Amino acid sequence: MDVPRSSASVPFALAAALVLTACSGGVHGTPGAAGVRDPYFPKAGNGGYDVTHYGLTLSYDPDGRDLTGSAEITARATKNLSAFHLDLKGLDVKSVTVEGREASWNRAGQELTVRPHDDLDRGETFRATVRYSGSPETITDPDGSKEGWLHTADGALALGEPTGSMAWFPGNHHPSDKASYDIAVTVPEGLRAVSNGELRSETTRQGRSTFRWHTAEPMASYVAMVAIGAFDIRRSTTKSGLPVYVAVDPGQAKASAEVLAKLPGIMEWEAYNFGPYPFASTGAVVDQGDDVGYALETQNRPVFPGAPDTATLVHELAHQWYGDSVTPKSWRDMWLNEGFATYAEWLYEEDHDGDTAQETFDALYRGDYYDDASAGEAVWAFPPAKPTSAAHISDSPVYERGAMVLHKIRRTVGDDTFYDIIQGWAATHRHGNADTADFTAYVEKKAPDKDFSEIWKDWLYGDGKPARP
C-alpha cells in the first residue's frame, strides 16, 4: 500500500522536510530525476546518483508468501541532491534512513521518493537503508511474460528482466547502473536459497536457514536472482579451477543430468572463443518446468525452466560475457546481448559437428530454418538495433537477425580478425556498459581497411529483408 512514512499527510511531510533543510543552512540541492529516459522504459532507473553496492537482507515465508526485507544501498551523488528516487513496485515501506538519520519519503507508482535530513553534495558517498515487507508482486511484461517475484510450488523465483527486480528490492533499476551485491536470504529449514556470486555461509537456527551470497563484480539489477526451493546442489570445478554451483529441482534432476554435465566443457569452449571468463564462479539453476516460461542469463548461474537443451545452455552462458559483463546502456541495445548469445549457439554447433554458421545464416535468409513459415518471416519484422516498442525487445530480429549481423562482420573481416573483435569487445567493456554506436565504432577501428556501411545500413538499421549480395 502506498502510504507516507508517518500518519502526516504527504504535503505536510514534504513541507516539514523543507523546513528542516532550511534550518540547516538553506537548500542547495535539487531532486534527482525519476527515470533515466530509457527509450522503452522511461520510468526505469533514476538520476542524480550511482549505486556502488546493495546489501539485501531478506526473509521469506513461502506458505504465507510474506517477504521481509532490508536494503542497504551505498551510492555516490552525481549532483547536489535534496531528494532522490528509488524504483520499488508494491511492498510496504516501514522506514527509510540516510546516513543513519530518519528521512522523509513518499510513494507514487513505482517511485519511492526519499528526502534526506540533510542535502547530499555532489561526489558524496551516502548510505540509504529501506526496511519493507509484504507479498511481492509478479509483474507482467509488455510482451506478456512474467517476472518479478514468481511463486513456485516449493518456494519462489525472483527474476528481473527488464524491470522485475523492483518487485523485491528498492534500487536504481536500469542496466546502466551496476553494483556489487551481498544478498542474505532466510527461509524455512529444508529449503535452499540460491543467488548470484559465491555462497559465503549457510547457517540454520530455530527452524530457519540463512544463505549469504556475495557478488564482487558489478551486476545490473535485471540479472540479480533469488531461487528458493528444495534444490539438489552439485558443486564441481572446471579444468581451469573455476567453481561450479548448480541447483536443480529434484523433479528435473534426471532429465537435466546429461546436458548439465556439459557445463564445464562449454565454459572452457566459451573462454577460449570469447576471452577470460569475467566472474568468479559459474553454474545454473534448474527449476520446475512450469514455474517460468523462459530461461534467463542471471549473473554467474543462469535460470532454466526445466531441463535445458545444449543450445540454450550455450546461449545463457555466453551472456555472461555479452549482457552480464558487457551490459547495454539502454534496452534499445538488446541485440548486443541476444545477437551475440545466439551467434554463440551457431559457433558451438559449427565446432561440434553440426551445421556451420554459414548454413544457419543461409537457412534463415531463405526462410526454411523454421518449420513455421511465419517464424521465418518474423526475422525481418524490424531491424535488430531498432525494436519497435518495449513489447518487442526480445523478438526474433533481436536474436536471429542480430546474429546475422555478426556473421556478416565475420565474412567481411575473416576469422582471425573476427575473433579479435569479439574477444576485444568483451575485454574493452568488461564489467561496463556499451551501446550499438560503441560497437560499430569498435569494429571499424579493428578493421579500418574494410567497409561496413552496407552491414550497418541494411542489416543492423535497415527495414525489411536486405538484398543479399
pLDDT in tens, 29-44: 999 999 999 999 999 9
Q: Indicate if the pLDDT at residue 21 is higher than 70.
A: no
pLDDT at 382 over 70: yes
- Are residues 146 and 291 in contact, defined by beta-carbon separation less than 8 angstroms? no
Confidence of residue 27 (pLDDT cuts 50, 70, 90): low
Residue 267 has pLDDT above 90, yes or no: yes
Q: Is the pLDDT of residue 5 over 70?
A: no
Q: Give the integer Cα–Cα distance in Å for 97 and 99.
A: 6
Peptide bond into 243 cis (omega under 30): no
Give the whole-angstrom CA distance, residue 195 versus residue 184: 9
- Binning pLDDT at 50, 70 and 90, where does residue 378 land? very high
User: Is residue 47 a contact partner of residue 36, using CB atoms and an 8 Å limit?
Assistant: yes
Q: Each residue of 391-445: pLDDT tens digit?
A: 999 999 999 999 999 999 999 999 999 999 999 999 999 999 999 999 999 999 9
Q: Which residue has the higher pLDDT, 78 or 9?
A: 78
Query: In the predicted model, what is the mean pLDDT of residues 449-468?
Result: 96
Which 8-state DSSP code applies to residue 465?
P
Nearest to 282 by CA among 309, 246, 256: 246
The DSSP call for residue 243 is E
Give dist(CA 32, CA 45) in Å, integer. 11
Contacts of 283 (CB under 8 A, 6+ apart): 243, 244, 245, 246, 247, 263, 300, 301
Percent of the chain with pLDDT over 90: 93
Strand partners, 104: 115
**Ranges of H-type helices in 241-372:** 253-260, 263-274, 310-318, 335-351, 357-366
- 309 DSSP assignment: P
CA dihedral for 60, 61, 67, 72, sign (positive or negative): negative
Q: Are 50 and 174 in contact (CB under 8 A)?
A: no
* pLDDT at residue 461 greater than cutoff 80: yes
What is the model's pLDDT at position 28?
80
**Distance between first and last Cα of the chain:** 59
Least confident of 6-10, 140-144, 331-335: 6-10
Band of pLDDT at residue 20, cut at 50, 70 and 90: very low
Q: What is the DSSP letter of 247?
A: E
Query: Residue 445 corresponds to which amino acid?
Result: K
Cβ atoms within 10 A of the Cβ of 242, count?
Answer: 18
User: What are the CA-CA distances from residue 325 to residues 433, 439, 441 (Å)?
Assistant: 8, 15, 19
Predicted local confidence at residue 289, as pLDDT: 80
**Per-residue confidence at 97, pLDDT binned at 50, 70, 90?**
very high
Cell of 130: 529501506
Residues 251-271 have a mean pLDDT of: 98
Give me the pLDDT at residue 101, please.
98
